[in-house]
Structure 1
Amino acid sequence: MALLINSCNHLASYILESSDRFFYDLGVSIAKHPWKTILYCWIFVALSVVGLVRFRQEKNPLNLWVPPDSNFHSDTLWLMENFKTAIRPQTVLVTAENVLTPNVLRQVAELSQKIKKVQTSNGMVKWDDVCFKAPMLELSFAERSKIDPNDDNITNFFDEFDPSVDLNIHLYCAILDNMKLGCIEWNIVDIWKYDPEKISELTNEDIIDDINSVAISPVSGHPMNYSSLLGGVKRNSTGHIISAESLVALWMVNVNFEDVDMNVAGNDAGTADWASESSLKWEKAFLNTMEKLSKNVTDDVKVFYEASRSFGDVSGATMFQDIDKLAIGITLMVIYVQLVLSNYNWIEFRAILGGFGLLCVGMAFISACGICSLIGISYGPVHTSLPFLLMGLGIDDMFVMMASWNQLDQLDKVDLNICIGKMLRHAGPSITLTTFTDVLAFIIGASTILPCLQSFCFYAAVGVFLTFVFAVTFFTACFTLDQKRIKNDYNAFIFCYKHPDYKYPAWSQRNYSSSIFEAVYSKFILTRPGKVLVILITLITFGVSLQSAMELEQRFDPYWFIPANTYLHAYLKERNEYFPQMGYEGIVFFGKLNYSHEFMNIHNMALKLKERTDIVNNVDTWTVPFIEYAKALNADFKPYNMSDEIWSEYIGKFLYSPRGARYQRNFRFETDLLCGLPAPPTTVAGFEFRFNIFKGPEETLPAKQAVENIVRNNSITTGDRFATVWAKIFGSWVTDEVIEVEVIRNLMLALACVMFCTVILVTNLQMCVWIFVCVLLTMINVCGYMQRWGLTIDLVACIGLELAIGLCVDYATHIGHTFLTNTTGNRKSRAIATVSYVGSAVFYGGGSTLLALSMLSQSEAYVFQSFFKIFFLVVVFGLFHGVVFLPVVLSIIGPPPYQYLRMPQSNEAQKEMDNEGSDAFEGVPTIELKENFA
């Protein structure tokens, strides 16, 4: 055992001594050739920029937020490849004390007419160019569109007269061929053919009578359930509608997936939907028109609206709308950094050095983008937060280096090259430890199944490493030049002006921060009562946080991205109030099956889904009307015993019948479907439904799984046996399924990285344990107070916590490493010397991060609010555990300092030391070299 301990000590001494030599050599070399170092750094950046020729910004939400091995990912690709088209609804919602009055409906009809005239500013895209079209069955039977008010089933109406059944098929198809295709619109004023004058002549009683009796659209001839377009409905004792407080109208835009280019349709936030360029342009014109029309209604009527592009537009703009606030925060941080780095006199004020320090971050970010682009890693929306992480880490490194510099004494008596070497000799190992801990944590974090987070972790790992490289090279070179300016008494602002015989004010030469830290810790925190109080606060905070962390919910709503002052938020608020049944749309799809054989399996599946009223509503299946239609064609029709010929004949007729035409959008065939001919082999079929509105993942995920089980547990045995359920909202729900596991997994792996790196680089097991404890306590506190602050576990929190690990590691590590290099005195005096030496640098680093993000507290954007809250908690608890709790622990049971083995040296450092003698390490009071050739 003694041999093992001795071997470990030798290994630790070798690692630390080698590290010291390397950074001393590097510092001396940079100090001798600062301009050459700066040039080499800029050449590296220039070469890295070449990689931006392969820069690709990912805008497809499927490739950003959805695990690539999920069913939703593969189902979406299958759907776009096989179904090829989709419908994008544009919605207008009208509210009034009673919308079923001539005044309100007349205004709705006028508004509808104006919407149909919407076109792009250049007139190139009109409503008729983008709308979803279907045959308008304006036959004589449309005049008989009223049914028995007590009969909710329109089947009886078609039993009386169905031209597709009662007329000769060739005559019927000839009539259809002469009919024009019309744009599909779901609108209650369709009952009166959108005629404002006709509506003005109606009485309230006429409107109520029509609402309760019309079930066939007089415009399209298609069956319509107009009551589903009403909200806040009041009924009489017989169940008839007598008034309504709102109505909704929808205009259907057609999308051909083959025309979709996400580089055009997507946005920088990665929240846009799939759409063609023409449909996006028309929807933009629709929104501009609705903004004006919504203000030109009577006082008793209110109009709200939404386009399919609205969520992508608003969420994308929201994510970047507060960049000005962030710019203010960064400006404040630049000023702050310069104030911290400077002594307040005409020479030692470092007006430019702070800017060059932040330039290191910019160089690292640009180089990381170039390198990652070169190897094919795409850039995503969350990558915008990377510069703030790099600023937090880079500025922290600068402060530690300045803290090392400020501890050097008698600078005028020692060669500047040697002083720079001694500065890096101590600061280098400390910032190396924090850097490689962060890099390894991000590399392991890149194993996540979330594509955007995976890409971000690669960018972060490269960016953090390059920030470290530029800090120890570029910043050191700039610092050397600035120090030469100071040594030659040149003005801090007018560089060409030299102060003759300048006398530095005595007050500007004092290190006030070190004095304050030493006084606070020696007289308060590291006294016996102070230690007891700190430990009690730590334990109490840990207990409260642990309880809250256990209650932290996994919940995410995409509409959190919508600020309260937007038109979309106002629309969603009214929709949820008046149309709670308008949950998320879902579709059950089937592939290439033998539909004549599988029809009853599909029918039974639809019926089972319809029975689950606890999770779904409005199951719009074509199987029920198809059976009724087939029986109208042949009274002896048996749905469970169809031949392929019967299926092709009947489904072909059904999809051109008044009751079945609207289901054409649910089918795809090998060739075009033609009226009067049997249907070609079916390649895709489906039916639609709506999920109920749920409170959160505790309801959404079981509902999703229940529907999937109904579809999965089928008896389909023919064809490709493909059957699946798809909904656009599944993109968020799939993430909900994995995000909690991903957060826990990433945090555990990051903590393991902390332990691994500190064991390798700190080479002191006891200190490694205490650093790990500080990071663990910080993350538990952060998670606990996230819950108390109203945050949940979601994708934003996952990214924020990934960044948090990188920040909070630094605080404890700098303190722990410096304590180990402090060899003078007992544990308490070493702890006081540690916080006096590096405590202010760590504290200033945390303060700079808070200052940069402080303006985000005023943002209305959910992402910025969440980031501010998480980073605020990380900085507060990270500083407490690293700068307060850890010194208290180390003053009680801290490990002994490093014991170095003096290794033979033949490099530049040895030559410099031989020339300078013992002066080479004079002024580094935290390290004592001991010759030990045991």
Structure 2
Amino acid sequence: MADYGAPVFSFLAVGGYENDDFTNAEALIVTFSLNNYARDNPKYKVAMQWETEFLKIVQAYQKSPAAKFTFAYMAERSLEDEINRTTAEDIPIFMISYAVIFVYISVALGEYTSWKRILVDSKFLVGLGGIMVVGCSVLASMGFYSWIGVPSSLVILQVVPFLVLAVGADNIFIFVLEYQRDMRKHGEKREEQIGRVLGNVAPSMLLCSLSESICFFLGALSTMPAVKTFALYAALAVLMDFLLQMTAFVALLSLDTRRQDNNRCELLCCVTVSTQHPNKPNEGFLLPLMRKYYAPVLLHRYTRIIVMVVFIFMFCGSVFLMFNVTVGLDQELAMPQGSYMLDYFQYLYKYFEVGVPVYFVTKKGFNFTSVDGMNGVCSSAGCDQFSLTQKIQYATNHPELPTVDDFNRFLPNFLGNRPDLKCPKGGLGAYDKAVVMDQTTRFMAYHTPLSNSQEYTAALLKARELAHNITMGMRQIPGTSPDFEVFPYTVTNVFYEQYLTIVPEGLFNISLCLMPTFVVCCLLLGLDLRSGLLNLFTIIMITVDTVGVMTLWSIDYNAVALINLVTAVGISVEFVSHMTRSFALSTKTTRVERAMEATANMGSADSMKLLNVRAWLKGCSEESGILVLAFAKAQLIQIFFFRLNLIITLLGMAHGLVFLPVLLSYFGPGVNKAVLLQLQQEKAKANRELELRHNMRQIYDNLGYESNELKLDSDSNSIKAPTDTCVPAQMMENQQEEGEERIDRF
């Protein structure tokens, strides 16, 4: 019995019974309905406070030893409260993850030559500076969009830092490791060497950063608010990260290099060590391993065939699995482990005999006062057999039709009558809140029990189909406006509506993100169409394989997964673009030799010497941070951040370090004639300089040592020629410079 005196349906009050035998019910269902208001309405805060006090009371009762039965509970604000609580509890996990990545980057960047120089050769300050550059980039992006009024979200705070850190770590590795392997030329200053190295690696860094930034800006064209907001924040953060690395990080590396050249310890700059740094660059252990073993084995004739077959088979299998991926996000996945909401969802699916209520709302434009209008709504004898209520099977007895004046006069009494034996159709409780002085109204029904995202989405779709059918039928009634419409409303529609269009929306966004990766690669590689297509094809394979593994690992496709897939496109650029550029700049004769050179990192293009070493270190740095997320309390983070990001990183490394070199060895572009011509000119220039220096050295020997006509002034350290010797002035200057060089070496 309801509080207004009328009976209620058994499926609304009890649960856990079979058929209609509700006397054997195992659960009692109690619902408190509150009036909802807009967020700017003062009464909204009152309703929120009521729910807060309600949760406190039931939580205290549940913990009381006097409680003699088990119950589960929730309020409308419970979902938001639990998600916020989870975010606060998992902040330390994210901090630990960033700390692990920082330690890994700092250790991996060090060029350790002896135990005595560990504190000198370590790169903790450089690693910390790289992390700070990433943090400043994210904060700059968040500050700008907050200033112009673009809202943020939980996903942005969790995903964007990882994305920018992936890009930032990649650029840090490629820049710092390239500098460490470079030899300073004779007479070259430290700043000049850093500038020369930066000139070699900056095009590759620009290629990746610009591709990703444009990729995310195009992703902001999405109609999904979560994806649009994420794309805007990520695009600006990646762009700011590149700008700060080209300025602030370069300055930081210059200062750290000065400290290292002076043999000063990193944490105690006033302390110096006597052990000098070796003149020969340290290759480490990965570079010789890749050059001597990995590249020859990978690009062996039979190995290449096996690699192509395996990856093509994996791609085809992922295409098949992609059509079987589950779409949706169950509410319990957003809850932390141990949340009271998990018990509520468990009991909901177990005991509830009915689904959520659904309202079919009629907009203005329908004449309820006419006979045809009422027949189009009612469901009793004499009504239209295709009326609104008959279509939704909400049958009631059709009372005698009053006149318009009588209807308006008796309507208030009807809405105030309590249902009883004499008048079971009294409107109090059932219709009094539904009738207001407005041209719209609603008709309530119930869904069947719904237990997961797929069922909620299917119910929403069917409700819309039914509402459209009703709309078309009621528009045929005379006096109905052509704009009249009936639409369904359920409190869960706001959440599940996104899944009606998320598949085409995702395809559109990912396609937009793939476009700049192709265009930018072609432009920065000198309109190299083939390299751009191979780059694009590999990124598509990584994305498709990611979706395929999602199906196997029970990861649903939803807005959070779509954001990670967009991120996967950006991260994939880091794994493939450097290899493609290294291959395009190689001047070897055959494709296999050029692929081996690019893979072994010993190519003529200085900026690509550390390509695969950087790729390995980048992948390991991401994995070290991702593995920490496995200990998060929120299932949402464990599934969509730990599992999905681990999949993206592993597939990116596999395609970038295994599949792409083999693909380039078969279908890569030909030798770049412009690069080959430039290399030949540089080689010819070097040979001429070497020959000229050799000739001048012979002249110096003949004049200075054999005939004793050139004498060395020990006081001034200069070479003097007698006045009777005919030596051109320019030749004398060259001889003097050569003499100074020989004296310096002596």
What interval of TM-score do these two structures reach, taking the shorter chain for normalisation?
A: 0.7 to 0.9
Are 2:142 and 1:358 aligned? no
Contact 2:517 2:536 in 1 (8 A): yes
Query: Alpha carbons of 1:871 and 1:433: their partners in 2 closer, same or farther (altered >3 Å)?
Result: same
Matching residue within 362, 377, 399 for 1:602: 377
1:839, CA displacement in angstroms?
0.6
1:793, CA displacement in angstroms?
1.9
Matching residue within 857, 880, 895 for 2:669: 895
Matching residue within 500, 514, 520 for 1:751: 514
Query: Alpha carbons of 1:491 and 1:851: their partners in 2 closer, same or farther (altered >3 Å)?
Result: same
Equivalent position of 1:431 in the other structure: 205
Equivalent position of 1:651 in the other structure: 411
The CA deviation string for residues 619-677 of structure 1, in whole angstroms up to 9 with x for no partner, is 5x8xx37x44xxxxxxxx32xxx53312211221110111211134543534xxxxxxx
Query: Alpha carbons of 1:240 and 1:468: their partners in 2 closer, same or farther (altered >3 Å)?
Result: closer
1:225, CA displacement in angstroms?
3.6
Are 2:641 and 1:867 aligned? yes
The CA deviation string for residues 565-623 of structure 1, in whole angstroms up to 9 with x for no partner, is 211110121121111313354343443654322333222499866667xxx78x5x8xx
State how far apart, in whole Å, the 1-side matches of 2:385 and 2:244 are.
63
Equivalent position of 1:662 in the other structure: 429
Matching residue within 317, 332, 355 for 2:85: 317
1:740, CA displacement in angstroms?
0.4
State how far apart, in whole Å, the 2-side matches of 1:807 and 1:895 are.
24
Pairing 1:664-813 to 2, within 5 Å after superposition? 664-670=431-437, 682-694=438-450, 696=454, 699-716=458-475, 717-718=479-480, 721-763=484-526, 764-813=528-577
Contact 2:356 2:449 in 1 (8 A): yes
Are 2:52 and 1:284 aligned? yes
Query: Alpha carbons of 1:373 and 1:233: their partners in 2 closer, same or farther (altered >3 Å)?
Result: closer
423-432 or 661-670: bigger deviation: 661-670
SS at match of 1:307: coil
**What amino acid is the match of 1:791?**
I
State how far apart, in whole Å, the 2-side matches of 1:398 and 1:328 are.
21
Normalising to structure 1: TM-score of the pair?
Answer: 0.65
293-302 or 400-409: bigger deviation: 293-302
Contact 1:711 1:725 in 2 (8 A): no
Pairing 1:19-418 to 2, within 5 Å after superposition? 220-225=4-9, 228-233=12-17, 241-257=22-38, 259-260=40-41, 276-296=44-64, 301-344=69-112, 345-384=118-157, 385-410=159-184, 414-418=188-192
Contact 1:595 1:647 in 2 (8 A): no
1:826, CA displacement in angstroms?
4.8
1:259, CA displacement in angstroms?
4.8
Matching residue within 506, 527, 535 for 2:308: 535
Contact 1:433 1:762 in 2 (8 A): no
781-790 or 282-291: bigger deviation: 282-291
Structure 2: 5+ residue stretches without partners: 113-117, 419-425, 602-608, 679-684, 691-746
Contact 1:232 1:578 in 2 (8 A): yes
State how far apart, in whole Å, the 2-side matches of 1:692 and 1:495 are.
72
Q: How many residues are aligned here?
A: 645
Equivalent position of 1:844 in the other structure: 617
1:787, CA displacement in angstroms?
0.7
1:772, CA displacement in angstroms?
1.4
Equivalent position of 2:735 in the other structure: none
SS at match of 2:5: coil
1:550, CA displacement in angstroms?
2.6
Query: Alpha carbons of 1:918 and 1:778: their partners in 2 closer, same or farther (altered >3 Å)?
Result: farther
Query: Alpha carbons of 1:295 and 1:608: their partners in 2 closer, same or farther (altered >3 Å)?
Result: farther
**What amino acid is the match of 1:700?**
A
1:800, CA displacement in angstroms?
0.8
State how far apart, in whole Å, the 1-side matches of 2:448 and 2:189 are.
76
**What amino acid is the match of 2:470?**
V
Equivalent position of 2:713 in the other structure: none
The CA deviation string for residues 847-901 of structure 1, in whole angstroms up to 9 with x for no partner, is 2222222122233434312122222121111111112211223344533444448
The CA deviation string for residues 282-337 of structure 1, in whole angstroms up to 9 with x for no partner, is 21121121112124476862121111211221233334532222221111100000
State how far apart, in whole Å, the 1-side matches of 2:223 and 2:127 are.
39
SS at match of 1:358: helix
Equivalent position of 2:244 in the other structure: 470
State how far apart, in whole Å, the 1-side matches of 2:339 and 2:541 are.
40
Are 2:248 and 1:489 aligned? no
Contact 1:584 1:729 in 2 (8 A): no
1:346, CA displacement in angstroms?
2.9
The CA deviation string for residues 537-562 of structure 1, in whole angstroms up to 9 with x for no partner, is 21232232222123223233334313
Contact 2:542 2:655 in 1 (8 A): yes
Query: Alpha carbons of 1:256 and 1:732: their partners in 2 closer, same or farther (altered >3 Å)?
Result: closer
Equivalent position of 2:606 in the other structure: none
1:846, CA displacement in angstroms?
2.0
State how far apart, in whole Å, the 2-side matches of 1:606 and 1:657 are.
29
State how far apart, in whole Å, the 1-side matches of 2:305 and 2:676 are.
40
State how far apart, in whole Å, the 1-side matches of 2:385 and 2:617 are.
63
SS at match of 1:689: strand
SS at match of 1:595: coil
Contact 1:591 1:723 in 2 (8 A): no
Normalising to structure 2: TM-score of the pair?
Answer: 0.80
Are 2:219 and 1:445 aligned? yes
Structure (1/2) with the larger strand percentage: 1
SS at match of 1:475: helix
821-830 or 515-524: bigger deviation: 821-830
State how far apart, in whole Å, the 2-side matches of 1:221 and 1:438 are.
64
Equivalent position of 1:575 in the other structure: 348
Query: Alpha carbons of 1:563 and 1:918: their partners in 2 closer, same or farther (altered >3 Å)?
Result: farther
Q: Percent identity?
A: 20
1:369, CA displacement in angstroms?
2.0
Query: Alpha carbons of 1:323 and 1:701: their partners in 2 closer, same or farther (altered >3 Å)?
Result: same
Contact 1:326 1:853 in 2 (8 A): no
Structure 1: 5+ residue stretches without partners: 1-215, 262-274, 629-636, 671-681, 905-913, 920-934
Query: Alpha carbons of 1:510 and 1:321: their partners in 2 closer, same or farther (altered >3 Å)?
Result: same
The CA deviation string for residues 149-181 of structure 1, in whole angstroms up to 9 with x for no partner, is xxxxxxxxxxxxxxxxxxxxxxxxxxxxxxxxx
1:356, CA displacement in angstroms?
0.3
